[in-house]
Chain A
Amino acid sequence: MLELRGVTKRFSGIPAVDNVSFTAHAGVVTGYLGPNGSGKSTTIKMITGLLEPSEGSILYNGTPIEQDLIAHKMRLGYVPEESQLYPHLTGAEFLEMVGQLRALDEKHLREKIDGLLHLFLLYDDRYVAMSSYSKGMRQKILLAAALLHNPEILLLDEPFTGLDINSALVLRNLIQELARRGKVILFSTHELDIVERICSHVVILHKGRLAADDSIEHLRVLMSLPKLEDIFAQLAVEQDTEKVTGEIVELIEL
């Protein structure tokens, strides 16, 4: 399991993540929610080791990850929020590079790459530079790169961005299947209906602090609200959406 204990991250003294503690268990898909700027991506970057916490610790199976960061990276698969890829490489070349950087066996690597490209319907475009890829195609490459080494932990930051319906369905089923196989999956998204369908546990962040850390079922009972959208709105949304909508319309009609 992946555990965050009192994790804080400050940038120039201002906390982006403030004393956040939660646990993502193996076999469970944990949703990680929050409005823009709540600290979700910062938390995920700390879990990947890209950022260092100002306070607190991140543990995997009871061991702080900084004791052996290399081992942690070896078991981690990460899909970033922004699909930043090297535009001059083709999809196949990028996956090959990732596999080589992870020191995967060359023979199996080739097999995995071809297989994943077929399954993600990218095989025909494997020779095309990623500068020509659509948003969805890039997202699929990122997913393939994250899965190539059969990670124990999967961090998905807005993985459904740009995916067509077919691919989104595949990904949804894939996440559930991977959870059943004992992976730790932390899944961050704004799409609450997907969270409701595939996550059994949610963590809600608001202004860098933990607002909720519970199963969806339990939250419904606690807050007496039937839908996750309503729960989220109560915990993390500050704007009066109807008022804002009205003001926007008035402004553009000036």
Chain B
Amino acid sequence: MGDSRARRQFRVLYRNFLAQIVDTELIATHGDPSRLLAQIGALLISISIILAIEILPQYRKATAAQIRLGAWGDQEFLIGITIAVIGVFTVFAWDSIFPSRHDTLVLASLPIRQNTISRAKLAATGTGLAVCLIAINGVIGLAYPFAAGGVRTFFAYWTTVTAAGLWIFCSLVALQGLAALTLTYRRFLKVSNALQVASFFAILAVFFLTPGPLDLDVSHGIPDAARLLPSFWFLGLFQTLNASAQPTFAPLASRALATLIAAVSTAALSYAIAQYQVTRRIVEEPDIVPADRAHPPSRVFPWVVRRATANWKPLDRAILLFIARTLTRSRLHRNLMAVFGGLGLAISITYAKALLYGNSQMYALARRYGFQTPHWYEPNTPLMAVGFILLILAVLGARVVFSLPLAVRANWIFRITDMQSPAAYFAALRKSVLTLIALPVWLVVAIFYLSVWGGPEALGHMLVLFCIGLIAVDLALSGFRKMPFACSYLPGASNLRIRLPIYGTVFLAAVDIGTRMERNAFESAARSMLLASALVALLSYARRRWNKLASWQLEQLQFDARPITDVAPLDLRGDGAYGRNQRYLDVLDTPPEPSLRQRAWRFARKTAIATACLCVGGFVYEQISELRNPLPPRQGRSIDIGGRSLNYSCVGQGSPAVIFENGSGGAGMNWTGLQREVAQYTRACWYDRAGQGWSDAAPFPHPASAIADDLHRLLGAAPIAPPYVLAGLSSGGICVRVYAKRYPPDVAGMVLIDSAHVDEDDSITPPGGGYIPYFPQGLSVLAQILRPIGALRLIMPAGALSPFETRTFAESLKEEMVYESHVEARAVRSLGDIPLIVLTAGRHRVNPPESPVEAREQLARENKWIEAQKQLARLSTHAQQRVFPEAQHNLLADRPQEVLKAVVDVVSAVRASSHPGSATN
């Protein structure tokens, strides 16, 4: 009888404790704990599936040796994510592990043994733990071991993740247990919450700070800092159990085992003692202890508030104090703010990871790939992004937290004292959010930016942050009609599961793009003004939107998530009092909402006016810029090639004549320096292609074959007698190859200067993927439209524009260099035996890589480029390739002497050969 009663009690308590594990105020369960666990399990399983899809494909082609040496990164990541998930679960279940006041006071008077209560609590906690562990490893844990090894790997994997999960769980329980045993119950409650929040941040920080296989060089041993990371200890354990040949991580296995044993034993002991000690303390401690009477909650805070809000209205002050006190004293709301803080921390670390590691060993491998850590003391995109992330997440977190009620039935006091207009309450709320949420973040980041960076960039960034903060607050609160913490809440009504991923993706993209735009804006006064105008327009929009919704005459303060379904009577008495807050006559007098057509017309009108203003401003900006950046004095002379003219310049005497073909968007005069040098050996000529420099514009389309024909007509009209040595830079290399195919007797030699070329193994993609009709024409027309209103100049990097480039960019789009010209160039299969030198640059980086992944990809692209250029060297039987691994793409500027040498070598080879065109003029 006693045993069966104990079993029944155990089952009832187990179910009750299982429901308490995760705070059900946040998640809708309709009172069903199994449904809650199923939801959590489903979320974790979906993560496991995504991991499997991401990780497994590369193992299909890898050999066993490659897996042994290179798979440690994936293994460490899977162990790390297990530790993070179990750690976060333990943090969320923090209050349900040890005896609570509620458990003690409710269960103490019932005939239940303490032993039964303890076992039920342990079983419930164990169930939650097991669900999380199995769910996060369910799919990947079945597939990965067999992809990376076999049966032994399977057992090693599951043993390791179970040990890692147990370690983090027991470590946190031990931490809480030691606090429970050493502190008074009240002090323990205060400290416990601080430990909970700190543990949450620590788990996220360690997970996101852990370097990956692209960052960390383990070929010479594990760096000391990495040895401190728990995921590496358990990686060592896995490697040992799996009998991996790689000895690097095996020594860490003993650390894993030692800490696991320590954590489990400390947790078990502290839990066992705490079960009785804490219960006794709860029962014996009075409601109010003398210490509570002696110390006011805070002396400083009320004094500061009174001074700072001396001119505020009483309502504003009341709302501010209520929000501040609730946020700081309510465990639920504090923890939810901590979740947003943790998110902000995680995203910030991801952005600024490289800055944190600096030049330490943790990023040694990344540096080998060419990644250079930005200097934290100079303005940089990652640190700028951190300010945005913290500010926006703080505001969003506050908005979410305000929706969660605290003692919702106590909101009667707000209803009873509802003596002001709803607009007054909304204004008070806005003021409080700006003061309590946005202002502290502004101050912290301001101190950081101004002290680390100083100068105009820091001030500029602070101004931008200030505007973004105001915009974020107005947009977050527009339509928010509730008294914070005082409106009932429907769990699940906000559809966070759907909104969060969508909003999160948009938010991250916006932060990334916005930060880059801001950095670009600081490079020129015009862009800064444009940015400022955009911010002012957004500010104005956000403020008007907030004002409109806050002061709408039928607006009411909301206290119930669901309105009371009570049909008010018709105003049959005709006395104008339809309802308390909805005067019937006022409803009649309210102007009707504008129709969709009217709203569309208004929007179109405003957009047209704004566009016109922007165009006028842009036109003025472009004219002023062109006046400040005039074209240089004309060089060369113009010659008619049949209906339009081209500009060219020739100096020197001799044969073969060297003809320089420029890259896309450039001007022929860029060759002037080299032309003078080459003129000492032979006749040297450059020209401006149609639409570039001082040449007339070209018809559309204007592929490489048309350019070659133009050149041929120019050379005939000038006249410049063949043979020629053609030197083509970048896309000019395509033109000279196509010329050689169309006019082979004229070409005696060729120099390809980092010529544009598509690898023969790759297909040539038409512009717009071939799916967008008239894409190149459209792009060219668009560029023609944007140029006179200064839009092109704004887009281009500041200082990278020659006076020609804004004028000729639109024209260069007509050349269709991306597609048709490449097709024509690919058709050039052989240049015979003419002397050919291919110059190849190894660096094609416009901007330094911003992450190790980007650095690695960039290096791979550059290596592929160098390999692909070898194909050009096969065009002639008398060819050589010269590679300059550290040189930039524009070899004419970066390696002018090498270009000169190559040209002179080809001229000499032409003269020395028996080619008919080698005779001198």
Please give the residue numbers on chain A whose beta carbons come within 8 Å of chain B beta carbons, in ascending order: 10-12, 48-50, 52, 54-55, 64, 66-67, 69-70, 73-74, 76, 78, 80, 82, 84-90, 93-94, 96-104, 106, 124-125, 127-129, 132-134, 145
Contact = CB atoms under 8 A, between A and B. Distances in A.
Interface string B401-422: 0000011011011111111100
Given A73-B419, A101-B417, A132-B287, A90 B297 contact: yes
A11 B566 CA distance: 7
A85 B410 contact: yes
A48 B416 contact: yes
Contacts of A134: 287
B412 A102 contact: no
B569 A49 contact: no
Contacts of A50: 412, 415-416
B322 A127 contact: no
What are the 5 tightest A-B residue pairs by CB atom distance, in nearest-first order?
A: A100-B318, A88-B329, A101-B417, A100-B314, A84-B409
Interface centre among B297, B313, B568, B569 (most CB of A within 10 A): B297
A128 B325 contact: no
B110 interface: no
A104 B417 contact: no
Interface in B475-491: none
A82 B413 CA distance: 12
B54 interface: no
A133 B313 CA distance: 30
Contact of A127 (B295, B317, B326): B295
Given A90-B296, A103-B419, 5 more contacts: A54-B569, A69-B580, A88-B325, A96-B321, A97-B413
A88 B295 CA distance: 15
Interface string B574-610: 0001011000000000000000000000000000000
5 contacts: A89-B325, A94-B413, A101-B315, A128-B292, A129-B292
B407 A132 contact: no
B152 to A, nearest CB: 55
B188 to A, nearest CB: 16
A220 to B, nearest CB: 36
Contacts of B417: 73, 98, 101-102
Contacts of B568: 52
Contacts of B325: 88-89, 93
Nearest to A52: B580
B314 A106 contact: yes
Nearest to B298: A127
A84 B566 contact: no
B315 A73 contact: no
Given A84-B409, A101-B314, A103-B314, A125 B293 contact: yes
Given A127-B295, A134-B287, A66 B413 contact: no
Contacts of B297: 90, 93, 127, 129
B17 to A, nearest CB: 23
Contacts of B409: 82, 84
Nearest to A69: B580
Contacts of A129: 292, 297, 329
B288 interface: yes
B296 A127 contact: yes
B636 to A, nearest CB: 81
Nearest to B287: A132
Contacts of B63: none
Contacts of A133: 287-288
B314 A78 contact: no
A103 B315 contact: yes
Interface string B315-337: 10110011001100110000000
A11 to B, nearest CB: 7
> By DSSP majority rule, is chain A's interface helix, strand, loop, or mixed?
mixed
Nearest to B573: A57
A86 to B, nearest CB: 5
Contacts of B419: 70, 73-74, 101-103
B584 to A, nearest CB: 12
B647 to A, nearest CB: 79
B407 A86 contact: yes
A104 B416 contact: no
A85 B407 contact: yes
Interface in B397-450: 406-407, 409-410, 412-420
A93 B416 CA distance: 17
Nearest to B312: A100
A132 B717 CA distance: 101
Contact of B293 (A70, A86, A124): A124
A249 to B, nearest CB: 23
Contacts of A90: 296-297
Interface centre among A86, A96, A134 (most CB of B within 10 A): A86
A88 B418 contact: no
Contacts of B418: 70, 73
Contacts of A73: 416-419
A52 B579 contact: yes
Given A74-B419, A97-B322, A125-B293, A145 B314 contact: no
A87 B407 contact: yes
B330 A88 contact: yes
B580 A49 contact: yes
A127 B414 CA distance: 22
Given A52-B568, A74-B419, A132-B292, A86 B406 contact: yes
Nearest to B295: A127
B484 to A, nearest CB: 12
Contacts of A132: 287-288, 292
Contacts of A127: 292-297
Contacts of A96: 318, 321
A10 B567 CA distance: 10
Contacts of A52: 566, 568, 579-580
A80 B318 contact: no
Contacts of B315: 100-101, 103
Contact of B413 (A70, A93, A98, A125): A98
Nearest to B330: A88
B30 to A, nearest CB: 22
B580 A145 contact: no
A126 B139 CA distance: 57
Given A88-B406, A90-B297, A127-B296, A101 B318 contact: yes
Interface in B252-294: 287-288, 292-294
Nearest to A54: B569
A104 B293 contact: no
A68 B414 CA distance: 17
B532 to A, nearest CB: 39
A97 B321 contact: yes
A242 to B, nearest CB: 31
Contacts of B413: 94, 97-98, 101, 145
A103 B314 CA distance: 6
Nearest to B559: A50
A54 to B, nearest CB: 7
B416 A78 contact: yes
A82 B565 CA distance: 24
A126 to B, nearest CB: 8
Nearest to B286: A132
A134 B288 CA distance: 10
A198 B318 CA distance: 36
A102 to B, nearest CB: 6
B420 to A, nearest CB: 8
Nearest to A57: B577
A52 B567 CA distance: 11
A66 B410 contact: no
B317 A100 contact: yes
A106 B305 CA distance: 14
A98 B318 CA distance: 8
Contacts of B326: 86, 88
A101 B414 contact: yes
Interface centre among B317, B329, B413, B416 (most CB of A within 10 A): B416
Nearest to A70: B419
Contacts of A67: 577
A69 B579 CA distance: 11
